[in-house]
Amino acid sequence: MSTLTKSIKASETNDNSSITAVVHRVGTTWRCVIADTHTSDPTKRVELLDAIEVSSDEALVALIQEKSPKRLFGILPGSSTVCRTTTLPNVGDEQIFEALRLQVEAKLLGQADTHRRAFAPLDAAIGETNRVGLIVAWPENAKITFPHCLDHASFIPDAASIAALLNGFRPNEPAVLADPSDGTVTISISHANGSALRATRENNISKDTFIEGIVRVANETATLHNHTDSFTEAMTQQLRATVGVQYNNDLLFILPSSISENASKRVANTPADDASWWSTWGIAIGGLLASTGSLQNLTTMRQHAEVLHPSLADRLITKFDNRSFALRLATVAVLLLALGPALFSGIRLAMLEMMNPEISSQYNALVESRKQQVIYKELGKTAWPMTKVIADVANNIPIGIEIESIRIDIGQPVSVRGRAINADGKTAAELIAKMQTNLQQTGMFNEITFAYDPAGTYGDREFDLWATVSSAIRRPRYTTDQDFGKWTLAMRQAGIAPEEKAVEVAAPTNASNDENVSPMESANADDIPLQTTPIKTLDNQPVRETSRPRPPSGSDNSGASSHSGNRDADSPTLRVPDPISPEQIKLMNRSEVMIAVKDIAEAKKRVGRANPEVKERLQKEFRLLMDHLKDLPNE
């Protein structure tokens, strides 16, 4: 490894994240510049750290390993590239890139893969109304090799290095790069619409032949871009003289002084007026400027396409893109869908038969059980447990309502007729509404409607209630207060709590001596009449007529508190009120006396001459009740 006597060495830096190296091969030697591009702070200038020349590929490998740059670029000679320029309108970046992309497809016509071509619009000079687009391709058949340390490096065409040095300047003199070792000739000439760049290979068999090739390329480029004959002739004569003086079988780089002065302002630690230094390191410095400026798109070419390591999902997707593979896979999927369930079921059945030899009998029992369940389910729709339905209706009747009749027909609404009296601080109408609510909450009944007569003299009301049975076999969950099976009305009136156990109570003198007397009968012995005569009823008596019709089966009665309509004409057997002793009458309050008077008055109307004893008893009790009512204070 050898270092030039004029190489620049700047202060060491501890951060390698912005260190960039650009290498340029000249014959058998390599020229390498190391710089800090300050990628984290774009406002800072690029700072040149080292400019080193090494004599072999092995020395270059060692240098790269020593410096360990974050980014590595190689200069691509113009003899291995195809360079084209095109004129573009001066529009926004997005539009100009789209226009340039179309020009790339038209000019290259697939000569290179995407990783071996680059294009970018050059910076415009002051006053220019057009932009110049530079298009460079690196064909696969270009015979050029690089050491393995550059396998993953990006490559910059030497035309892009010259374009980066121009930076929008338009010098009168051409910029020429000529390498006799491989015949590379890259030239830049300013013209009215920008700058023309051309890269080609010339015959380098001899000095004179190569010099004439350089001059011819410059002459052709100037003529193609509409320069005058006088300008072209003067430029070619001056170029022939300059090349003849500087030619020494080494790389020749002729750069106008105005360009080198401007470039030195953009790269720190570079001389401004040393033409020899710029002739040696100018192309590498131009590549450095291209990698950090607006021409970065020209620095992306690579030797090999980027090798991807797709994930399993990506590989499967790529595999499925193959039409034949997708067809085979679809065929297998269809076979699995058609035969898979049967095959799986057969294996499963074989395993079950092996593990359970009696599976056939168990299967038959299961089938029979399911058939029975179907039958029971259908029976549940067409047959009702009448005792249960009656019990549920009775369980939801509040205290204070006396039921005269309950009519249940399968498939028809349940019909309830009764009378409600004021009780527990609730009016008769409130008790009827509460009964409707209780039935609704069970979940067994819906479409519950009722109708009742106007309030009587004592606040009592006779009513009819209809409810459609939605689920006859449903088992509602009753609370203790709602369950009259656990806490009967007699227990409530006797003050016996539902959780208390029945205790033996001494039988009164008028009670039976039977040992099987129930605790409830003993607890209510005072209320049991001494007479053992059965309660008398009145049969075949005239039925009370009202104006409320019974709604037809299945009708939707939405008037929950309707006061119109006739009740059913077929009333049940009417009951004769129980005998009331004078002592009991004296203990009655005003409401109880009024209700008893009404009951006796209605019974007297229906008692005929066939029951003179009953009629006489009712008349006597009526007088006692009226006398007691006179003594009671008005409430």
pLDDT digits (tens, 9 = 90+) for 268-290: 999 988 989 999 999 999 999 99
Non-local (6+) Cβ contacts of 86 within 8 A are 100, 103, 107, 132, 133, 135
Please calculate the CA angle 62-66-71 and round it to the nearest 5 degrees. 100
Q: Using an 8 Å Cβ cutoff, are 592 and 635 in contact?
A: no
**Any idea which of 31-35, 182-186, 341-345, 513-517 has the lowest mean pLDDT?**
513-517
Non-local (6+) Cβ contacts of 16 within 8 A are 68, 69, 70
User: Torsion angle, CA of 205/206/212/218, rounded to 10 degrees?
Assistant: 60
pLDDT band at 510 (very low <50, low <70, confident <90, very high): very low
User: Quick one: how many helices (H) and strands (E) in the chain?
Assistant: 17, 19
Whether the per-residue pLDDT at 544 is higher than 80: the answer is no
Give the H or E element holding residue 465.
strand 461-469
pLDDT at 21: 95
pLDDT at 609: 66
How many other C-beta atoms lie within 10 A of the C-beta of residue 221?
Answer: 22
Q: Residue 242 to residues 214, 216, 398: CA-CA distances in angstroms?
A: 11, 15, 125
Whether the per-residue pLDDT at 567 is higher than 80: the answer is no
Whether the per-residue pLDDT at 383 is higher than 70: the answer is yes
Q: Please state the rounded mean pLDDT for residues 240-265.
A: 89
The Cβ-side half-sphere exposure at 169, using a 13 Å CA radius, reads 19
pLDDT at 193: 82
Q: Using an 8 Å Cβ cutoff, are 160 and 298 in contact?
A: yes
CA distance 464 to 569: 12
**Any idea which of 139-143, 456-460, 467-471, 533-537 has the lowest mean pLDDT?**
533-537
pLDDT band at 174 (very low <50, low <70, confident <90, very high): very high
Q: Is 159 exposed, middle or buried (0-12, 13-18, 19+ CB in 10 A)?
A: buried
- The rounded mean pLDDT for the chain is 81
How does pLDDT run across 105-150, given as a tens digit for each residue? 887 766 778 888 899 998 888 877 788 899 999 988 888 889 999 9
pTM exceeds cut of 0.85: no
User: Torsion angle, CA of 225/226/231/233, rounded to 10 degrees?
Assistant: 80
Q: Using an 8 Å Cβ cutoff, are 448 and 439 in contact?
A: yes
- How many residues does the structure list for the chain? 635
Chain centroid, CA 322 distance in Å: 32
CA distance 238 to 244: 10
Q: What is the DSSP letter of 459?
A: S
**Any idea which of 178-182, 460-464, 561-565 has the lowest mean pLDDT?**
561-565
Helices 612-631 and 590-606, interaxial angle, to 10°? 150
* Tokens 């038959």 -> residue: 364
At the top level of CATH, the class of 386-573 is: alpha beta
pLDDT band at 311 (very low <50, low <70, confident <90, very high): confident
Whether the per-residue pLDDT at 197 is higher than 70: the answer is yes
| Domain boundary assignment for the chain | 75-299, 312-352, 386-573, 576-635
**Any idea which of 287-291, 543-547, 617-621 has the lowest mean pLDDT?**
543-547
Please calculate the CA angle 542-548-550 and round it to the nearest 5 degrees. 95
Please name every residue paired with 461 in a beta bridge, in sequence order, or none if there are none: 420
Whether the per-residue pLDDT at 74 is higher than 90: the answer is yes
Whether the per-residue pLDDT at 85 is higher than 80: the answer is yes
Give the H or E element holding residue 200.
strand 194-201
pLDDT at 204: 87
Whether the per-residue pLDDT at 499 is higher than 50: the answer is yes
pLDDT band at 500 (very low <50, low <70, confident <90, very high): low
Non-local (6+) Cβ contacts of 106 within 8 A are none
Least Cα distance to 155 among 96, 90, 86, 75 occurs for 75
CA distance 302 to 74: 10
